[in-house]
Chain A
Amino acid sequence: MFDIDKWQEILATIKKNKMRTFLTGFSVAWGIFMLMILLGSGNGLSNGVAANFMNDAINAMWIWNGKTTLPYEGMKSGRNIDFRNQDQDIVQKVPGVGVSSGRYFIGNTRYSYNKESGEYTTITCQPELKEVENTILNEGRFINKIDILQNRKVVVIGTDIKTALFKDSAAVGEYVNINNVLFKVVGICSEPGSTRNRNAYMPLSTAQMIFSGSNRLHNLALTINAETLEESQAIEEQIRKALGKQHKFDPKDESAIGLYNKLENYIQTMRIFQAIKIFIWIIGMGTLIAGIVGVSNIMLIVVKERTKEIGIRKAIGASPSSVIALILLESIMITTIAGYIGLVLGTGLMELINYLMVQAAGPTPDPQGTIFMNPTVDINIAVSATLLLIVAGAIAGYIPAKRAASIKPIVALRDE
Chain B
Amino acid sequence: MIRLNNIHKSYEMGSNSLHVLKGIDLHIEQGDFVSIMGSSGSGKSTLLNILGMLDNYDKGTYHLSGNLIANMSEKKSAKLRNEMVGFVFQSFNLISFKNAMENVALPLYYKGIPRKKRNQIAMEYLEKLGLKEWAHHMPNEMSGGQKQRVAIARALISNPKIILADEPTGALDSATSYEVMDILKDVNDSGITVIIVTHEHDIAAMTSQIIRLNDGRIHEIIRNGELKKFQKNYIHGLETA
Contact = CB atoms under 8 A, between A and B. Distances in A.
B38 to A, nearest CB: 17
A316 B81 contact: yes
Contacts of A399: none
- Size class of the contact patch on chain B: 20 to 34
A309 interface: yes
Contact of A13 (B81, B97, B114): B97
B110 interface: yes
Contact of A317 (B95, B97, B111): B111
- Size class of the contact patch on chain A: 20 to 34
B78 A317 contact: yes
B158 to A, nearest CB: 7
A127 interface: no
Interface in A390-416: 405-406, 408-410, 413
A319 B114 CA distance: 18
B54 A319 contact: no
A322 B54 contact: no
Contacts of A12: 98, 102
B220 interface: no
B228 interface: no
Contacts of B97: 13, 16-17
Contacts of B27: none
Contact of B98 (A16, A319, A413): A16
A317 B82 contact: yes
Contacts of B83: 317
A320 B78 contact: yes
A314 interface: yes
A411 to B, nearest CB: 9
A406 to B, nearest CB: 7
A318 interface: yes
Nearest to B56: A408
A320 B94 CA distance: 19
A315 B93 contact: yes
Interface string A291-328: 00000000000000000110111111111111000000
Nearest to A323: B78
A231 interface: no
A5 interface: yes
B107 A413 contact: no
A248 to B, nearest CB: 93
Nearest to A405: B74
A320 B98 CA distance: 20
Given A16-B97, A316-B87, A406 B74 contact: yes
Interface in B160-200: none
B109 interface: yes
Contacts of A318: 78, 110
B79 A410 contact: no
Interface string A185-223: 000000000000000000000000000000000000000
Contacts of A16: 97-98
**Those 8 A-B pairs whose CB atoms lie nearest each other, nearest first:** A317-B82, A16-B97, A410-B54, A317-B110, A319-B75, A319-B78, A316-B107, A320-B74
Interface of B: 49, 52, 54-56, 74-75, 78-79, 81-83, 86-87, 89, 93-95, 97-98, 102, 106-107, 109-112, 114-115, 154, 158
27 contacts: A5-B109, A8-B115, A13-B97, A17-B97, A308-B93, A311-B93, A312-B94, A313-B110, A314-B78, A314-B81, A315-B81, A316-B86, A316-B87, A316-B107, A316-B158, A317-B78, A317-B81, A317-B107, A317-B111, A317-B158, A318-B78, A319-B74, A319-B75, A319-B79, A320-B75, A413-B89, A413-B93
Interface of A: 5, 8-9, 12-13, 16-17, 308-309, 311-322, 405-406, 408-410, 413
Given A312-B93, A316-B106, 12 more contacts: A5-B112, A5-B114, A5-B115, A16-B97, A313-B110, A315-B54, A315-B81, A316-B154, A318-B110, A319-B74, A409-B54, A410-B49
